[in-house]
Amino acid sequence: MPPRVLLDATPLGGPHSRRGIGTYVRGLIDGFRQLEAEQRPSLLVRDDCPASELFVQYPIHMTEWGFRWYPDPRTRRRGEKRIAELRPRLVHATQTTLVPSGPALVATCHDLIPLRFPDMYLRGAQLGHRREYQTYLARLKRARLVITPSTSTASDLASLAGIPSERIRVVPHGVPEGIIPAVAGTDDPESGSYVLYTQSLEPHKNVELAIEAIAHVRLPNVRLKLAGPWSRRRAARLQRLVQAHGVSDRVDLLGYVSEAELNRLRAAALALIVPSLIEGFGLPALEAMAAGVPVLGSDAPGLVEVTGPDLPALPRLDPLPWARAIERLATDPAERGRIAAMGLRRSERFRWVETARRTAEVYDEAMRV
């Protein structure tokens, strides 16, 4: 029997597994796991990366070329062929590179950053990347409903991509139920001695501001630790930035770290720093808030929807307010505790089970269109 709803869970493996899309798919599946069986979608999974046995799963073999300048065309072709064989009533597309053209479609659009910053991501890109993104936008327009995690991205979908607002549904992301507040971080010998950056190094993540901010911090014992799934090319550029700002002795470039090590680093951090120029949502900030870690975030609208009106929302282009905010947290334990407590309370609004429940409602609505 063809599946009623087929969710693309292939980002659980491959290049997306350590990035935001992989986190979204893992969280969504965890949320569906807590719902009744009839509310759960079937899953399209990589044959080397199955999901929970509670779900009906359809494996597919996927490999990617190692070329950074050209998207692997086999990803979409193989995915579309497998989906056509399964004949689902509805497909939930979760990534830009696999949005099938045939079946009824619900698509999650995480952001439209390439359209907001075309000079960064489209005009200088290789032809293959531009065509791939144009194909994605065209197929997004034929989706019955489009899910997005923030009202900021919903506005971009309407104004930049031409998606009618009546076909857009805002469904915020969540955090796992099991995140433990970071009380244990106080036992770490490095506790409170550094601010932490855990994102990728794409231009819109604005990592240079974090480096500039630490250069302006007037407390020499406060360090900046940077961790994330970086390419060698971007890591080398980051090293040059650190050297150019003269802070090599105050910045630790960690690269990719395990989940356990990330949890330890986050728990012991003075604060998580999120200086993004734009965000579709802001999962790293939300996860830190749920762990009881203070968050210093930018005033990017999508991120402010996560952090709320009470947490710091600092200017995206001026490092001095960031430096002063870091100094306040380092010298005022009460202020640090206040921001951590507000973030923890705010995070309680976001749970993956609620994301899954609202996504299931979107499926039902799309079936009726």
pLDDT in tens, 211-253: 999 999 999 999 999 998 888 888 899 999 999 999 999 999 9
pLDDT in tens, 82-132: 998 999 999 999 998 888 888 899 999 999 999 998 877 776 556 667 788
Task: Give the sign of the dihedral formed by CA 100, CA 104, CA 107, CA 112.
Answer: positive
Closest-CA residue to 214 (of 325, 315, 289, 311)? 325
Q: Is 14 left (phi over 0), alpha (psi -120 to 50) or beta?
A: left
Q: Which residue has the higher pLDDT, 154 or 192?
A: 154
Domains in the chain with CATH codes = 5-174+351-368 (3.40.50.2000), 182-347 (3.40.50.2000)
pLDDT of residue 124: 59
DSSP assignment string, 215-282: HH-S-TT-EEEEE----HHHHHHHHHHHHHTT-TTTEEEEES--HHHHHHHHHH-SEEEE--S--SS-
How sure is the predictor about 73, in pLDDT bands with cuts at 50, 70 and 90?
Answer: low
pLDDT of residue 183: 52
**Mean pLDDT of the region 156-165:** 96
Q: What is the mean pLDDT of the chain?
A: 90
Q: Could you give the 3-state DSSP secondary structure of residue 60?
A: strand
pLDDT of residue 184: 47
pLDDT of residue 349: 95
pLDDT of residue 69: 45
Could you give the angle at which helices 352-368 and 20-33 cross, rounded to 10 degrees? 80
How sure is the predictor about 180, in pLDDT bands with cuts at 50, 70 and 90?
Answer: low
Closest-CA residue to 28 (of 365, 360, 281)? 360
Q: Could you give the 3-state DSSP secondary structure of residue 106?
A: strand
pLDDT of residue 130: 77
**Mean pLDDT of the region 59-75:** 65
Beta bridge partners of residue 196, listed in sequence order: 225, 272
pLDDT of residue 55: 94
pLDDT in tens, 286-299: 999 999 999 999 99
Is the pLDDT reported for residue 76 higher than 80?
A: no
Is the pLDDT reported for residue 357 higher than 90?
A: yes
pLDDT of residue 20: 82
What is the pTM assigned to this prediction? 0.91
pLDDT in tens, 19-46: 789 999 999 999 999 999 999 999 999 8
Q: Lowest-pLDDT range, 2-6, 30-34, 66-70, 114-118?
A: 66-70
Taking the CB of residue 184, how many other CB atoms lie within 10 A of it?
15
pLDDT in tens, 296-349: 999 999 999 999 999 999 999 999 999 999 999 999 999 999 999 999 999 999
